[in-house]
Amino acid sequence: MSWRLESVPYKQETGDRKASVRRSHTGSCSVPGAVNVITWTDLLPPEVCSLLNPAAIYANNEISLRDVEVYGFDYDYTLAQYADTLHPEIFSAARDILIEHYKYPEGIRKYDYNPSFAIRGLHYDIQKSLLMKIDAFHYVQLGTAYRGLQPVPDEEVIDLYGGTQHIPLYQMSGFYGKGPSIKQFMDIFSLPEMALLSCVVDHFLGHGLEFDQAHLYKDVTDAIRDVHVKGLMYQWIERDMEKYILRGDETFAVLSRLVAHGKQLFLITNSPFSFVDKGMRHMVGADWRQLFDVVIVQADKPSFFTDRRKPFRKLDEKGSLHWDRITRLEKGKIYRQGNLFDFLRLTEWRGPRVLYFGDHLYSDLADLMLRHGWRTGAIIPELEREIRIINTEQYMHSLTWQQALTGLLERMQTYQDAESRQVLAAWMKERQELRCITKALFNAQFGSIFRTFHNPTYFSRRLVRFSDLYMASLSCLLNYRVDFTFYPRRTPLQHEAPLWMDQLCTGCMKTPFLGDMAHIR
C-alpha cells in the first residue's frame, strides 16, 4: 500500500486554494496497490475543535475566586477601555509637536497613522533604528524587522547582530522593558508611538538626512509623552466619552456584582483625579466612589510598588492637596501618590487574597506578583481579535498543515537519496509559505503578538510570568461565578507525551466555548 497527504480546497480572500498531492511512501498492506489519502481534516483529533470564546478568561496559574477577598484595578485600558480612534489623535498631535516645538522637517506632516502597521510587544534597537519582533528565547523572528516603514532583509539583520538572530541578554530590555539600547513597547498607548517613530525614520532615510538615532528616539518619545503630560488626550476623551470609552455599562456591572458579593475594591492609577472622576461618572454614576474602599490617583507606577519614600496625600473634591499626615485610608476619599508598603500597612491586604487587574505587564503586574504575592489579571484587548482569527477555517487549515509537514520533515530526514532530498526541500518550502500565510492573518508585518512562527513571543513569556489570568476585557468576569476556579491546561513538556485530548489539537478543550457560556452570563 502507499499513502499520501492531500490538502483539501478551502476558501481564501484571494480565491480557492487548489488541492496538492504529496509524495507516496510505500508500506506493507494486504491489498496491493491500495492508496490511503490523508487530508488536513483527518489530522485533527475528534471532538476537540469547538470554537474558542473571545470572551473567556484564560489561566496561566490555578486560581480560585472563592479565595479572593479584595479586587484592585488600574484605570486606563482596564476599567476604561478606549476606542482605537484615540490612536490617530495621539499620533497626529505628537507629530505636530515634533514639527512645531522640536523643529523637525515639515515633510513629516504628510504621514498619517496606520493602525495596521505595528503590534504591541515589539522591541526597538535605538542605535540601529530597528523595530522588530523577538521570541521568548531572544531570537529575532526573521521577516519582522523594519527600519522606518521598510522591511530589513534577513541577511542584513543577521549581519547586524554578529552573524546571528540572537539578541544577548545584556542588550535586551530590563525588568520594566527598558534596556541600555533596546526598548520593548508594552502598553497599548505605544502603538501610535511606534508608528510615529517609524514614519520619522522613514522620512529621514528617504530624504538622505543625517540624524542621531538616540536623539530621534528621545524626541519622538518626549513628543508622545507631551500629549499625555499636557493633558491633550484627557481633553479629547472628556469632550466625547461616548466616542472614546467602550463597555462602560459592563464595567459598572462587574464592579456592582463584586460589591454585592461582599468583595472589597480599590483603584490605583497614574491618571489624575479629575480625568478619572469624569470617566467613572460616565460609566458608573456620580456615586462611583462608594463602590471603592480605596482610591489612589497619580500613583506614579511602577515606582509606587518599589519606592518607600513617597507618602500619601489627601485630595479634596477640587483636587487641592491636604497637608495632614495619613494614618488610615478611608472609603470615599481620594489619595495621591503614596507607595505600596504604606498601602499594605494601612489596609493589611496581603498575598493571594488580593487580585489586581491591569493592562501593562511591567508597570501594573510584575512587582505585585514577584515581590508581594498578589494574584494578577492582565487585560489584553488584542486577545479578542486574535481568537476570532484562530477560529477561522483558514487558520486551522494552515496551522494543522504546518504541523503535519513539520512532523514529516522530522521523521523523513533520514532519507538522503536525491529524490527524497528533493521532496524534503519542497516540504520545507511549503512549510515556510504556510508560516508566512499564517503570520499575515494577524498582521502583515509582524504577525501575532503571542507567537513567532512556532515559539512564544517575548511578550507571551512576560504575560505567562506576570499574570495568573488574562482576558480581552474586564467584562469577561461576568461570564463566571464569583467562586469559580480557573485551571490552566497541563501543557506537556517536550519529553512528555500528551495525555489529554486538549493537548492533541491547536487548543480547544477545557476553555469556555461560545455555546457553553450562554447559560452562565
Binding residues for Mg(2+) are 74, 359
- Has 502 been annotated as catalytic? no
Output helix, strand, coil percentages for the chain, rounded to the nearest 5: 40, 20, 40
The catalytically annotated residue of 74, 125, 135, 202 is: 74
Exposure class string for 495-508: b at 16+ Cβ within 10 A, else e: eeeeeeebbbbebb
Cα–Cα dist 280/290, whole Å: 12
Exposure class string for 385-395: b at 16+ Cβ within 10 A, else e: ebbeebbeebb
**Residues in the annotated binding site for GMP:** 76
Pairing of strands 334-337, 312-315: antiparallel
Pairing of strands 264-268, 294-297: parallel
The catalytically annotated residue of 16, 42, 76, 364 is: 76
Cβ contact 498:277 at 8 Å: no
Q: Tell me the H-state helices in 212-366.
A: 213-229, 232-239, 241-244, 248-260, 273-283, 340-347
- Has 222 been annotated as catalytic? no
DSSP-based three-state secondary structure for 83: coil
Residue with cell 458579593: 261
**Partners of residue 139 on adjacent β-strands:** 166
- In sign, the C-alpha dihedral spanning 316, 321, 327, 328 is positive
The one-letter amino acid code at 46 reads P
Provide the grid cell at 495.
519529553
Residue with cell 513617597: 310
Residue with cell 486560581: 63
**Residues in the annotated binding site:** 74, 76, 359
Cα–Cα dist 43/406, whole Å: 13
Cβ contact 378:358 at 8 Å: yes
User: Which residues belong to the active site?
Assistant: 74, 76
